[in-house]
Amino acid sequence: MIIIFLLLLPIAGMVHFMSGHLDISFNDLINSLFNFDETNTNHLIAREVRIPRMFTAIIAGAGLSVAGLLMQTLFNNPLAGPYVLGINSGASLFVAFSIMTGIPFLSSDLGIITNALIGAMVFGLIISLFSEVVRSQISLLLIGIMLGSFTGAIVSLLEVSSDASELKVFTLWSLGSLSRIEFSQIPLISLVFIVGIVGSLFLIKPLNLLILGQDQARLLGLNYKRTRFVIIAITAILIGLITAFCGPIAFVGLAVPNLVRIMLKSQHHGLLIVACAFIGGIFVLLCDALIQAMENYMLIPINVLTSIIGAPIVVLLILRKLR
């Protein structure tokens, strides 16, 4: 199964690379990396536009899916996800502050990333405190949705009171985009991403225990509070990073882990994490390839497309569960 993913990812990557409206060959891709010629337009496009965008799609899909998987296991709820639980909205709120307060440091790249990260972390901790009080799965989802609405309202307040240029920056950000990362930013982002993924691989044993429920996991020696903190921290790193650069992207974190579980019929998290990373990357690559292919007719923000595809998948999952 893993071998199939390993093959599918580069294929999806190539589909994505070729789907822009300018024809750029595979040779250009290789040359732009190893034999870069500044005067060659094709090289420039490959290096400055196509490759960063492909990279962003993979990171965003993989990161969101793994983060979603961690949330679902932590809260023992297949419908949990960074978006539903309001962790995305936390990041959004803090980014809204940083863009619309007009303080220069805050609206720099680093400022936005830091804020998205802090926002995701704060809201992750809030939701986990609530999870301590309410044991019911539905209640927790409702609290997450309320948290989302509440922050949405505050963001709207900020929007009303901000000036036109700030508002434009924020609105564009909130539509979600995969074309905001530059070639030179790739190493830094990869580093943060790898920290998140490798960190989650160290959680395999606690995650496998959490499947049995919090009480059983504790009785088998799991330090629940510490584990929860580490899971939230890793989720915040992944969500914060992706939200800062790509804006909020809905449903990937919710739908992909569920699809992966159904496909693999397993709860072994070593397998699930790797599969989520690959399938998530492939899913967003293909979504974005579709967007690029449609670019001449219609501009579709990534968040819109993932919602259009993701929402029905989630409804199907719920129906499947109820059956």
Partner 1 sequence: MIELKKVHIGYTESILHCQDIKLECGNVYVLVGKNGIGKSTLLKTISKQIAPISGEILVGSKGIRNISTSELPKLLSFVPVHFPQMDYVRSKEFISAGRAPYTNALGKITEEDSLEINHAIEALGIETLSERFTSELSDGEKQLVAISKAIAQKTPVILLDEPTAFLDYSNKKKVLSILTKTSKSLNKCIVLSAHDIDLCLEFSSNFLVIDAYSKEMQQLVTPSREDIISIAFKESE
Q: CB of 266: closest distance to partner 1 in angstroms?
A: 6
List the alpha helices (DSSP H) in 101-223. 109-133, 137-160, 164-175, 186-201, 204-210, 214-219
* Residue position matching structure tokens 């982002």: 189
Six token digits for residue 253? 């974190």
Q: CB of 215: closest distance to partner 1 in angstroms?
A: 7
Select from 88, 179, 79 the least CA-distant residue to 138. 79
Q: How far is 157 from 237, CA to CA, in rounded Å?
A: 27
**Is there binding between residue 221 and partner 1 (CB under 8 A)?**
yes
Nearer to partner 1, 211 or 316 (CB): 211
Among 1, 268, 308, 312, binds partner 1 (CB under 8 A): 268
Nearer to partner 1, 76 or 185 (CB): 76
Among 215, 297, 298, 323, binds partner 1 (CB under 8 A): 215
Inter-residue contact 140 to 131 (CB < 8 Å): yes
Task: Determine the length of the chain.
Answer: 323
Site string for partner 1, 39-78 (x = CB under 8 A): ---------------------------------------x
Q: What's the farthest any 2 CA atoms get from each other in the chain?
A: 65
Inter-residue contact 141 to 18 (CB < 8 Å): no
Among 4, 211, 299, 315, binds partner 1 (CB under 8 A): 211
CA atoms within 13 A on the CB side of 183: 12
Nearer to partner 1, 219 or 299 (CB): 219
- Among 62-70, 126-134, 182-190, 205-213, which window interacts with partner 1 (CB under 8 A)? 205-213
The binding site for partner 1 (CB under 8 A) comprises 78, 202, 204-205, 208-209, 211-213, 215-216, 218-223, 261, 264-268
